[in-house]
Amino acid sequence: MSKRQRWIVTTDPQHAAGDIARELEQKGFSVDAVLAEIGSITGTATPAVARSITGIDGVVDVARDAGIDIGPPGADETW
């Protein structure tokens, strides 16, 4: 069985983010946050579910969420 991963779903502003979130949940995507103002929905799903939600009307992109570490304050390199 595939392990659940964190994903960011980019949404089309012509579609209501709440409606898209409900459809994502029906497909097995666990919604963490609906960020309607920036057109994103975050949550967890297996890779198979992530592939399946790309066909939902209003979903523009589905990308795996990668952590960002900018280092400690005062560090010479931040990337």
Are 78 and 70 a contacting pair, CB within 8 Å?
A: yes
User: In this model, does residue 78 exceed pLDDT 70?
Assistant: no
Look up the CATH number of the domain holding residue 9: 3.30.70.260
Whether 71 is in a domain gets the answer no
In the chain, how many domains are there?
1
Q: DSSP labels for 57-76?
A: TTEEEEEE-------STT-S
Q: How do residues 6-25 score in pLDDT, each as one tens digit?
A: 999 999 999 999 999 999 99
Whether 22 is in a domain gets the answer yes
What domain range is 31 assigned to?
Answer: 5-64
Whether 29 is in a domain gets the answer yes
pTM for the complete prediction?
A: 0.84
Whether 58 is in a domain gets the answer yes
CA atoms of 52 and 30, how far apart (whole Å):
14
Whether 40 is in a domain gets the answer yes
Whether 43 is in a domain gets the answer yes
